[in-house]
Amino acid sequence: MGGRHGGRPTLDQVAARAGVGRGTVSRVINGSPRVSEQARTAVSRAVSELGYVPDRAARALAGSRTDAVALVIPEAEARLFAEPYFLDLIRGVSAELAEADKQLLLTLVRSEQERQRFEQYLAAQRVDGVLLASVHGDDPLPDRIRELGLPVVMNGRRTEAEPVPYVDSDNVAAGRTAVAHLVGRGRSRIATIAGPLDMYVARARLGGYRAGLAEAGLPPEEALEAIGDFTEEGGRRAMRLLLDRRPDLDAVFVASDVMAAGARGALREAGRRVPQDVALVGVDDSPAARLMDPPLTSVRQPIGEMGRTMARMLLRHGAATAPVEPLRQVLPTELIVRRSCG
């Protein structure tokens, strides 16, 4: 029984023939030292019998490297180009990889089909490692990449107990700092527009908002919390909902500057002045924050530095010849005060 009956043999067929996991197959093909001699022999025999020759496999078996790193953004193009966050992240990653003489491969994964295609691309050993941005809580891709034996570093994390290496900013502190600033400006009916709660970053900022209220002795209120989707239109919709529920609110902590721009539009439509009637704080300190009318107080993340740190971490992780302990790094945030809080 050869591998010819179903077209080109797959990594799974090689793994089944060799009696090992697909991650072991990938490590053998990638020339990893983290494989037993017995497994290496079994995989090499299966590769030979099935005629499995992925692109670059022969060079990879000889210990060659591709000198390319993939940066994966699981978002639509519209969000990629609307969010200054991603552009700053790409700039940071690109600068660090250029210094290491590595090529950057930018990949958008927008559907299950595209995710599967990207996994096949990785199985063919076309890159030395993967950087992942904007990961949602149920995303299987980080674990699949590790199973393939490739180093991976995430921007942000899926849960508090994330096993995959990541670089994040202190998102809980972002919410707490914003609320403390608003309380200091005399605001007491402080609402929030959170991001999608299947993302850890959104849950962390919402947790920071709630912690800030508790520290100020203000009770949490469900009516003062609305969920957005990190888009301008999502911010606009959430702001309208908050105004319907609590027309007397006097401040809003918005989990991104892009959503804050939408909230600003909804406040203007409702005849509310910023900051006289409602104070606003965003997150990201993007160009949108500086250009808003009035300019937006925002929590700055070191986005470019996060990109550089991710790339450095990946290169160190990939260069190791033995298993590396999961790496985690959380960078500080900083409140940039402008006129939107009065």
CATH for 4-61? 1.10.260.40
Residue with structure tokens 């983290």?
Answer: 34
Please state the rounded mean pLDDT for residues 31-44.
Answer: 80
1 pLDDT band, cuts 50/70/90, is very low
Check whether 322 has a pLDDT greater than 80. no
HSE-CB for 212 with a 13 A CA cutoff: 28
Q: Tens digit of pLDDT for each residue in 83-122?
A: 788 889 999 999 999 998 889 999 888 888 888 888 888 8
**DSSP states along 99-136:** HTT-EEEEEE--SHHHHHHHHHHHHTT--SEEEE-S--
Residue spans per domain, the chain = 4-61, 68-168+304-331, 171-301
User: Where does the chain have alpha helices with state H?
Assistant: 11-18, 22-29, 37-50, 57-61, 77-82, 84-99, 112-123, 141-147, 171-184, 200-215, 232-245, 257-269, 287-291, 303-319
> Which architecture characterizes domain 68-168+304-331 according to CATH?
3-Layer(aba) Sandwich (3.40)
The 129-132 sheet, strands edge to edge: 103-108, 68-73, 129-132, 152-155, 166-169, 328-331
Check whether 317 has a pLDDT greater than 60. yes
Query: How far, in Å, CA of 85 to CA of 6, rounded?
Result: 43
Check whether 339 has a pLDDT greater than 70. yes
Q: Tens digit of pLDDT for each residue in 224-248?
A: 999 999 999 999 999 999 999 999 9
Residue 165 is given by DSSP the state -
Quote the Cα angle for 225-335-312, to 5°: 105
The dihedral sign for the CA sequence 251, 253, 257, 263? negative
Q: Which two tokens stand for residue 312?
A: 């450095």
Residue 251 is given by DSSP the state E
Has domain 171-301 been given CATH number 3.40.50.300? no
2 pLDDT band, cuts 50/70/90, is very low
Check whether 200 has a pLDDT greater than 50. yes
Answer whether 68-168+304-331 and 171-301 agree in fold: yes
Query: How far, in Å, CA of 322 to CA of 303, rounded?
Result: 30
Q: Which two tokens stand for residue 16?
A: 């089944």
Residue 3 and residue 16 in contact, taking contact as beta carbons nearer than 8 Å: no
Q: Tens digit of pLDDT for each residue in 7-37?
A: 567 778 888 888 988 888 877 776 666 778 8
Query: How far, in Å, CA of 285 to CA of 91, rounded?
Result: 16
The percent of residues in the chain predicted with pLDDT above 90, rounded, is 55
Please state the rounded mean pLDDT for residues 321-327.
Answer: 57
Q: Tens digit of pLDDT for each residue in 130-181?
A: 999 988 888 888 888 888 888 999 999 988 888 889 999 999 999 999 999 9
pTM recorded for the entire structure: 0.77
Check whether 3 has a pLDDT greater than 60. no
Determine how many CB atoms are found less than 10 A away from the CB of residue 172: 19
The mean pLDDT of the chain is 87
Q: What is the pLDDT of residue 57?
A: 45
Q: What is the pLDDT of residue 56?
A: 46
Q: Tens digit of pLDDT for each residue in 52-85?
A: 655 444 444 444 466 899 999 887 777 777 778 8
Please state the rounded mean pLDDT for residues 293-308.
Answer: 96
203 pLDDT band, cuts 50/70/90, is very high
Determine how many CB atoms are found less than 10 A away from the CB of residue 27: 22
Residue 284 and residue 257 in contact, taking contact as beta carbons nearer than 8 Å: yes
| Out of 42-46, 269-273, 288-292, least confident range | 42-46
Q: Which two tokens stand for residue 181?
A: 């600033």
Check whether 220 has a pLDDT greater than 50. yes
